Chains A and B, each alone.
Chain A
Amino acid sequence: MENIHLDLPLDEKTVRSLRAGDAVTLSGSIITGRDAAHKRLVDLIDQGKELPVDLNGQAIYYVGPAPASPGHAVGSAGPTTSYRMDVYTPKLLDLGLRAMIGKGLRSKEVVESMKKNGAVYFGAVGGAAALISRSIIASEVIAYPDLGAEAIHRFTIKDFPVIVIIDSEGNNLYESGPKLYKKTAL
């Protein structure tokens, strides 16, 4: 497969040029966050308070890494299922969140917000966590250390492999892909 290499952060023009099905490798800086961190961020947004991390132009990776063994920046670190973040995501996109990396379906509300804000949803391979961890070269906790694996980390990544699942026009590989191979109606 042809591969597009992108350096982070991503600007809106670059994001709007990506299409569902594109294979991409990412390098640069991303933040992590999953269920508990999303809940805290959105609680702060709802209260009009300042966030511990600037989301504008950021890419977020839905992951709760395993502990790092000696000599490694992180333990195994594959994507977690994204739909659990859907209820929070539009509020983060409105603050300028540019890209999300996860796996699995997204809600209509998230897709609409992505179109409006110019954001992209990348999929990483679920369960390829040891392989993926090799493209994470540095990790630090930047917020909510009490959450352990669920804390917000900053990862430095190099050639991190993803596929564009939903692009900024709302094209969705999880809909178009299976249609090509589906043989029978239920």
Chain B
Amino acid sequence: MRNIQANQITKSISELFTQCSYIIGDDIKDSIDTALKIEPSPIGRNTLLQISQNYDIAARERIAICQDTGMSVVFVELGQDVHIEGGQFEEAIQQGVREAYLHGYLRKSIVAEPLFERVNTKDNTPAVIHTRIVPGDKLKLTAVAKGFGSENMSALKMLVPADGIEGVKRFVLETVERAGPNPCPPIVVGLGIGGTFEQAALMAKEATALPLSRSNENPKYKQLEEELLTRINELGVGPGGTGGLTTALKVHIIYAPTHIAGLPVAVNICCHAARHASQIL
């Protein structure tokens, strides 16, 4: 048994959201700078240049990369030998979000109720929290700041087994092409394939927060990731959607066992500012 103080969790969450809102991952920055060298569209290159310069300004001046600092999503891997003391676990996370957004000059974008009043909660809470209990005595926290320009372009479809591999490809390509300029391309595409309705969506969200260097361990899925990336970039959407060959930086797939009658596919689109950060306590 290992004790972790609730206020350590709060401090970690606050730092993770602040950090990922100001500083883009090296993988994304490198990928944009590489695309800048090969993108044939002059307007597209200008867009990539602004994106790259924007990352530098945000990191240097410690200001938000994007004004939409997102809805806060937290993935938790909680070791079963961890005991949390000095406060309630989920409230410790919410307090971390509150502190990051109140003190970090981050926009508060959450309304308390979605349909009738839509009143802003003024501190970006509540965060969406997904917790898994895992072996061990560590606590891994992953903060994801998810902007809604790209979230709104995401889609889920309950395909059937007969739709097969071609059906999955078609759905992904249609979703990305229909989104066009809206999700701030170049995008990161997270795919959840299999599981149930909600599991597919959750896997897709988790996939958007993987490092760009990661590929699926299953060679067939790795090949599908690569083929989809190529075909998405052949759509011509381009940086900012004004035409070009850089539409996506990466396609990540996470898959899971599913029912004999089903083939759920979730496409979670993330803008180029794919903001996430992790810490292990």
Contact = CB atoms under 8 A, between A and B. Distances in A.
Q: Do A and B come from one complex?
A: yes
Interface of A: 1, 21, 23, 36, 63-69, 72, 75-78, 80-81, 83, 103-105, 123, 125-134, 148-149, 161, 163, 165, 173-174, 176-184, 186
Contact of A126 (B64, B122, B244, B271): B271
Contacts of B177: 186
Nearest to B242: A177
Given A125-B50, A129-B66, A131-B57, A173 B105 contact: no
Given A129-B65, A161-B50, A104 B241 contact: yes
B238 interface: yes
Nearest to A20: B242
Contacts of B245: 181
B9 to A, nearest CB: 25
Interface of B: 40-43, 46-47, 50-51, 53-54, 57-58, 61-69, 105-109, 118, 120, 122, 149, 152, 170, 173-174, 177, 180-182, 184, 231, 234-238, 240-245, 271-273
Contact of A179 (B40, B43, B63, B236): B236
A123 B181 CA distance: 10
A33 B109 CA distance: 15
Nearest 7 A-B pairs (CB), nearest first?
A177-B243, A182-B236, A126-B184, A181-B236, A183-B234, A104-B182, A178-B236
Contacts of B237: 178
A184 B235 CA distance: 7
A76 B43 contact: no
A21 B64 CA distance: 28
B58 A130 contact: yes
A115 B242 CA distance: 21
B234 A76 contact: no
A76 B243 contact: no
Given A69-B63, A181-B41, A183-B234, A148 B108 contact: yes
Given A1-B46, A80-B149, A177-B244, A130 B107 contact: no
A141 to B, nearest CB: 15
Contacts of A67: 105-107
A179 B243 contact: yes
B243 A178 contact: yes
A127 B181 contact: no
Contacts, number: 174
B46 A184 contact: no
Contacts of A125: 47, 50-51, 54, 240
Nearest to A77: B67
A182 B177 CA distance: 11
B121 to A, nearest CB: 11
B65 to A, nearest CB: 6
| Chain B CB within 10 Å, residue with most, of A127, A131, A161 | A127
A72 to B, nearest CB: 8
8 contacts: A69-B61, A80-B149, A81-B149, A105-B181, A126-B181, A130-B58, A131-B57, A179-B243
B146 to A, nearest CB: 13
B25 to A, nearest CB: 14
Contacts of A149: 67, 107-109
B43 A23 contact: yes
Nearest to B47: A125
A181 B244 contact: yes
A82 B118 CA distance: 20
B242 A128 contact: no
Given A66-B63, A66-B64, A183-B236, A174 B107 contact: no
Contact of B63 (A76, A128, A178): A76
A68 B63 CA distance: 9
A148 B272 CA distance: 26
Contacts of B68: 64, 78, 80, 129
B178 to A, nearest CB: 9
B85 to A, nearest CB: 34
Given A126-B149, A129-B67, A131-B54, A66 B236 contact: no
